[in-house]
Chain A
């Protein structure tokens, strides 16, 4: 029996945009088990992005509870949330979001820089091992502009893994890639799940991507439509 790494209950998120109150999440509940691979789908405006930001501890819900790997995160201060993101969450973005002036190794090392308790070996060695795992052993010291989109996304995946997070949040990870590179990235992510048991939460528009996951959560109007 696997434990739940993500457990959200009755999430409500309300924005004030000018005079209009936007209810992005209206009592959303869901959970993700350790080692699970799930897809989150939904039309734009469904609250999908808000859910991603909340799951990634980038944003706090207006009400509701969120337990991430045993930690109650919905009422944490900014600095505590930053630490939770550092330890528990790995992000993969559609546009890779690498530091453009920095080499692949340094990009992968970035989360280790903000780690509060040191240890766990030499950051550079850890980063090099991960880059080798994602197939970039000959691109260690390349800068992002010297790499293809697929290679950049591999760097981002290595960066997401570097702190051994509880969950990896991938927001349209193949959205900027051609279908061949996209498939390679998905294979890599699923392979890592097999191999290391990392929990993957993939936000996507693409039913073909969703079909590769174990479970798809559909969001509509700030609630889970069906599973």
Chain B
């Protein structure tokens, strides 16, 4: 008995009860579609987060203050620390340094006001943090030297204060009790999985020190120093160079802990992808349960089918079918349900992924579910395996029927 006949017969048998076959398959279709679309969402979230971390700058390293019990005299990061990183010559792997201070203020233009983050920066901030202006200009050296009251606005702030983005350059907005001239608008970076960077105002760091941050800050303390390394290979060496310069400037002895933390973009993406990896496994795992339920559906229907076809099995045995022939016949049927159900599930998953992408876009998140070839293979392989595993028991029940008993059944 050749395998083509077995296949043809299994298809005929499944086709003879289309509704039942379709319902049984539906369990597998939903299972596979769920597994695929859930892992696709996980993958999509992962690459969305990774790309938004990467959009914050190239070869970026963040330095911020930390506290440790094992440090008797922790010091804040200062403007002088930032300058030392470029000027000492002790950090050849460092390309550019951008210290920054943050504060939060209400800004007013005419009748409109909004509460937003004010960041005081140097001109290098634009290169280190990958900021570009869509109109006007960024903060210049001259602004720093002159303590100019100028501001570069994020696109969300422009929307909140002006409503439109034309004719904004040259307008004066009020931050605290001073008026600032708008000199530029930042390129919108769009909503990302880790929040928007369009809701901020950038001012010269010197202006921030003198006008916006608390007076007690006599040492020009900064909240963060952003550093860009020469290239991606030199990130590790840049981290160790920065560490040794700051340790000596802060007089930290060798048995004490750092009073600062250095975070490279790489460690952030690693952390993010380990989180999304767990998310993907979690979502996929939940979806896999539905595939399992689909498998139980196959077993249920195949058991019913064996009982219904007892007499047919008896006849086949009477005319010479071996136990294995019967086993193969029923296994083929459940395999086909698993395989075709899996393939339909793949198609459905593509539909679901597109739907999720549109829903995410409608709520201004960029999430692009990614169905990989590997995940298709895995899901279809899994559904075929489910068909096999849950088909074995009914098929072996059929194969073990005694021909005399089976023929006697009505």
Contacts and interface: CB of A to CB of B under 8 A. Distances in A.
B404 A111 contact: no
B97 to A, nearest CB: 80
Given A99-B315, A114-B316, A78 B323 contact: yes
Interface string B267-310: 00000000000000000000000000000000000000000000
Contacts of A79: 322-324
B403 A58 contact: yes
Nearest to A79: B322
B159 to A, nearest CB: 68
Given A53-B404, A58-B403, A97-B311, A110 B323 contact: no
B77 to A, nearest CB: 81
A31 to B, nearest CB: 23
A114 B322 contact: yes
B269 to A, nearest CB: 59
Contacts of B320: 82-83, 85-87, 111, 114-115, 163
B145 interface: no
A91 interface: yes
B319 A91 contact: yes
Name the residue among B5, B311, B315 with the largest chain A CB count within 10 angstroms: B315
A93 B404 CA distance: 13
Contacts of A114: 1, 316, 319-322, 325
B16 interface: yes
A101 B12 contact: yes
Contact of A86 (B13, B311, B319): B319
B313 to A, nearest CB: 11
Interface string B7-21: 000001100100000
Interface size class of B (residues with CB under 8 A): 20 to 34
B311 A59 contact: no
B129 interface: no
A82 to B, nearest CB: 5
Nearest to A82: B322
B72 to A, nearest CB: 86
Contacts of B403: 58-59
Interface residues of A, number: 24
A150 interface: no
A83 B316 CA distance: 12
Nearest to B406: A58
Nearest to B400: A78
A159 B316 CA distance: 12
Contacts of B407: 58, 93, 97
Nearest to A52: B404
A48 to B, nearest CB: 14
Contact of A82 (B5, B315, B317, B402): B317
Contacts of B5: 113
Interface in A62-78: 78
B266 interface: no
B404 A85 contact: no
A113 B323 contact: no
Contacts of B80: none
Nearest to B17: A101
A126 to B, nearest CB: 14
A223 to B, nearest CB: 21
Name the residue among A82, A87, A99, A114 with the largest chain B CB count within 10 angstroms: A82
Contact of B318 (A83, A91, A99, A101): A91
A124 to B, nearest CB: 12
B270 to A, nearest CB: 59
Given A99-B312, A114-B325, A56 B318 contact: yes
B319 A59 contact: no
A79 B323 CA distance: 7
B2 to A, nearest CB: 9
Name the residue among B318, B402, B403 with the largest chain A CB count within 10 angstroms: B318
A152 B134 CA distance: 85
A56 B325 CA distance: 19
Contacts of B404: 53, 58-59
A113 B318 contact: no
A114 B407 CA distance: 18
Contacts of A99: 312, 315
A222 B147 CA distance: 119
A146 B325 CA distance: 29
Contacts of A102: 12
Name the residue among A78, A110, A111, A163 with the largest chain B CB count within 10 angstroms: A78
A141 to B, nearest CB: 14
A87 B320 CA distance: 8
Name the residue among B5, B312, B324 with the largest chain A CB count within 10 angstroms: B312
Nearest to B325: A114
A83 B318 CA distance: 10
A93 B317 CA distance: 14
B318 to A, nearest CB: 5
9 contacts: A53-B404, A58-B403, A83-B322, A86-B320, A91-B318, A97-B311, A110-B316, A113-B1, A114-B319
Given A82-B323, A115-B1, A159-B319, 4 more contacts: A82-B320, A82-B321, A86-B320, A113-B1
Interface of B: 1, 5, 12-13, 16, 311-312, 315-325, 402-404, 407
Which 9 A-B residue pairings sit nearest by Cβ, starting from the closest?
Answer: A86-B320, A114-B320, A111-B319, A82-B322, A58-B403, A97-B315, A79-B322, A101-B16, A114-B321
